[in-house]
């Protein structure tokens, strides 16, 4: 009988927890950079609207850049084994069963994308 309860952290496994921690860390980095930027602009009598918009822009850039970097460092890439095929799948924050499923998908995908010279 299927359960209607929401999945808990223990159900989702350790990779999901690592992904959440990484997300919180990148948010904190973005917030620190945005706050620092806003603080520095405020000391130069920059109008509030410009200070806030600049601080949010810095926050977004630092947060998204750090997220991308964390994804590159923590993810796993599965490539097609067919010679000349450029198909690949990048996964991050998934459990072992999901990892295996993506590995099999990359090995047996329906059409091959051949790289042209
Ligand atoms: Zn392929």
Q: Determine the pLDDT at residue 47.
A: 95
Q: Indicate whether 5 belongs to any domain.
A: no
Q: Indicate whether 25 belongs to any domain.
A: yes
SS3 content of the chain, % helix, strand, coil (to 5): 60, 10, 30
Q: What's 32's DSSP letter?
A: H
Residues 18 and 67 placed together within one structural domain of the fold? yes
Residues 33 and 62 placed together within one structural domain of the fold? yes
Residues 69 and 81 placed together within one structural domain of the fold? no
Residue-wise pLDDT tens digits, 71-115: 888 888 898 888 888 888 888 778 889 989 999 888 888 887 776
Q: Indicate whether 8 belongs to any domain.
A: no
Q: Determine the pLDDT at residue 110.
A: 83
Residue-wise pLDDT tens digits, 19-58: 788 889 999 999 999 999 999 999 998 999 999 999 999 9
How many folded domains does the chain comprise? 2
Residues 56 and 82 placed together within one structural domain of the fold? no
Q: Measured in angstroms, how far is the CA atom of residue 16 from the centroid of ligand 1?
A: 28
Q: Indicate whether 2 belongs to any domain.
A: no
Q: Measured in angstroms, how far is the CA atom of residue 90 from the centroid of ligand 1?
A: 14
Q: Measured in angstroms, how far is the CA atom of residue 111 from the centroid of ligand 1?
A: 6
Q: Indicate whether 4 belongs to any domain.
A: no
φ, ψ for residue 27, nearest 5 deg: -65, -40
Residue 2 has pLDDT above 90, yes or no: no
Closest CA to 63 of 38, 33, 36, 21: 33
Domain of residue 111, residue span: 76-117
**Which residues sit with Cβ closer than 5 angstroms to ligand 1, an ion?**
80, 82, 85, 87, 112
């Amino acid at each position: 009988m299927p359960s209607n309860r929401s999945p808990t952290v223990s159900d989702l496994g350790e990779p999901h927890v690592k992904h959440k921690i990484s997300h919180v860390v990148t948010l904190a980095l973005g917030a620190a950079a945005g706050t620092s930027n806003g603080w520095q602009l405020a000391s130069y009598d920059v109008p509030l609207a410009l200070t806030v918009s600049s601080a949010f822009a810095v926050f977004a850039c630092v947060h998204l850049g750090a997220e991308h970097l964390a994804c590159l460092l923590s993810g796993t890439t599965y490539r097609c084994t067919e010679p000349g095929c450029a198909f690949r799948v990048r996964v991050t924050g998934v459990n072992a069963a999901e990892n295996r499923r993506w590995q099999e998908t990359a090995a047996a995908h329906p059409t091959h994308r051949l790289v042209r010279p």
